[in-house]
Amino acid sequence: MTHRCALALLFIAACTTPIVQTTTPVGERHAGTVFTHCGFYEVDFADRRWTPSSIERGAMPEGTDSMATDGTFELMGTDELLFRADSGLEVRYRPAPADLEPVPGCD
């Protein structure tokens, strides 16, 4: 095999290698913590920023720790994220708009 053919085979192999999925699959749960010292605000998950949709932004419902709340994140679809706190609290998120301003001192 010539040097040129070997390089061509390497190029073909590189171009036909399956693409590795980098996003989180729908339905897969991941342990996580939401920092709740200012209530529930935006979270970053699966390469996106999410904002609460089932509660008011900044709310601190019963079952929320004053500093951080542990639980699991689960992508429910392309536009819905669910956080289940260990306390039983569930908070749904939607993709955050690009122009959403962060809360000073809470990011």
With bands split at pLDDT 50, 70 and 90, how would you rate the model's confidence at 81?
very high
**Would 6 be classed as within a structural domain?**
no
Q: Average pLDDT over the chain, rounded to whole?
A: 76
- Of residues 62 and 34, the one with the higher pLDDT is 34
**Would 47 be classed as within a structural domain?**
yes
Going across the sheet that includes 68-77, the strands are 29-35, 68-77, 80-85, 90-95, 48-52, 43-45
**Would 2 be classed as within a structural domain?**
no
**Would 71 be classed as within a structural domain?**
yes
Would you state the pLDDT for residue 27? 87
Q: What is the pTM for the complete model shown?
A: 0.70
**Would 86 be classed as within a structural domain?**
yes
Whether residue 20 is predicted with pLDDT greater than 60 in this model: the reply is: no
Q: How many domains does the chain have?
A: 1
Give the domain extent around 58: 24-95
Q: Which two tokens stand for residue 46?
A: 């699966």
